[in-house]
Amino acid sequence: MRAAHQGGNIVIEVTDDGAGLNRERILAKAKEKGIPISDSASDAEVWQLIFAPGFSTAAVVTDVSGRGVGMDVVKKNIEGIGGRVELSSRSGQGSTVTIRLPLTLAILDGLSVAVGDQIYIIPLSFISESLQPKSEDLKEISGQGQVVHVRGEYVPMVALHEVFGITPRVTNPADGILVLLEGEGKKVALFVDELLGQHQVVIKSLETNYRRVSGISGATIMGDGRVAMIMDVTAMIKMSQA
C-alpha cells in the first residue's frame, strides 16, 4: 500500500501479490451476463467490467462475499466525491488498485455567468464550449421547446432564467450566450445573458443554515462579497430531459 500526493490529487495505491485478475473468466462471465465486449478488448477495458453492478466471478458466494456489489459501490462513492479508480493486473503476479481523490473537495473551477442581476457558477468540468448562436440555428420543436444546431447536432436548449424564475436582460438566445454542458452522456445548451469569467471558488454549503435547493449544489462568495450560487449541472441536465 502506498499513498502519494500528485498534482491536485491524493493517489492511494493498493497492491496485492495474489493471482491477479483472470481475463478469460471475466470475459466468459461478461458474455454470460450479456455485456457486449469483444475478445480483443484491451486489458483496461476488461478490468472495468468488474466495476459493473452485480458482476462477480466468484465460484463460492457467501452471505457477504462474491455477490458483485463491492467494486460497484467503491467506484460509485469515489466518483461521487470527484475521484477516480483505476485497476491494473498481471496474471500470476497480482493486482493494483489506484484511487485518486481530489485534494480539496472544497475548491471548484467554475465559469461565472450572469442572468438578470444574478450570478451563477457553472463547474468547468461540465462545460464543453460556449457559443453565440445565429438565429437560423435555433429551431422550435412544437411543445418540446427549442433546440440549437451545433455542427450537425441538435442540442436541447434550456433557458436558465426560466428554470430559476429570474427576469433576464436578454430574451432572444441569438443576443445571449449558450453554454454547452455535457454530463452523463447527454448534452444541453444553457442560455444565459453573458459570460463573466473563470474563477476558482470555495464551495459553501447552503444546507448549513438553509436546506437543499434543486438545481443548486452550493454557494460561494465572490471577490466583491456577493453570494453566487453554484449550479448542479447533473440535475439541470436531468430537468431538461424530463
Partner 1 sequence: MQENQGQAADSRELLTFTLGSEEYGIDILKVQEIRGYDAVTTIANSPDFIKGVINLRGIIVPIVDMRIKFGLGNVTYNNLTVVIILNVASRVVGMVVDGVSDVIALTAEQLKAAPEFSGTMDTQYITGLGTVDDRMIIVVDIEKLMTSRDMDLVEMAAA
> Binding residues for partner 1, per CB under 8 A?
118-119, 163-166, 204-216, 219, 221, 225-229
73 vs 221, which CB is nearer to partner 1?
Answer: 221
To partner 1, the closest distance from the beta carbon of 36 in angstroms equals: 36
42 vs 210, which CB is nearer to partner 1?
Answer: 210
Largest alpha-carbon pair distance within the chain? 65
To partner 1, the closest distance from the beta carbon of 218 in angstroms equals: 9
Q: CA-CA distances (angstroms) from residue 23 to 15, 34, 45, 96, 229?
A: 18, 16, 10, 15, 47
The torsion angle over the Cα atoms of residues 172, 177, 183 and 186, rounded to 10 degrees, is: 40
61 vs 105, which CB is nearer to partner 1?
Answer: 105
To partner 1, the closest distance from the beta carbon of 103 in angstroms equals: 21
What is the number of other CB atoms lying within 10 angstroms of the CB of residue 239? 14
To partner 1, the closest distance from the beta carbon of 228 in angstroms equals: 7
Q: Are 75 and 41 in contact (CB under 8 A)?
A: no
What is the number of other CB atoms lying within 10 angstroms of the CB of residue 173? 21
To partner 1, the closest distance from the beta carbon of 11 in angstroms equals: 31
6 vs 209, which CB is nearer to partner 1?
Answer: 209
127 vs 228, which CB is nearer to partner 1?
Answer: 228
To partner 1, the closest distance from the beta carbon of 87 in angstroms equals: 36
165 vs 197, which CB is nearer to partner 1?
Answer: 165
152 vs 225, which CB is nearer to partner 1?
Answer: 225
Q: Output phi, psi for 60, to 5 deg.
A: -110, 125
To partner 1, the closest distance from the beta carbon of 167 in angstroms equals: 11
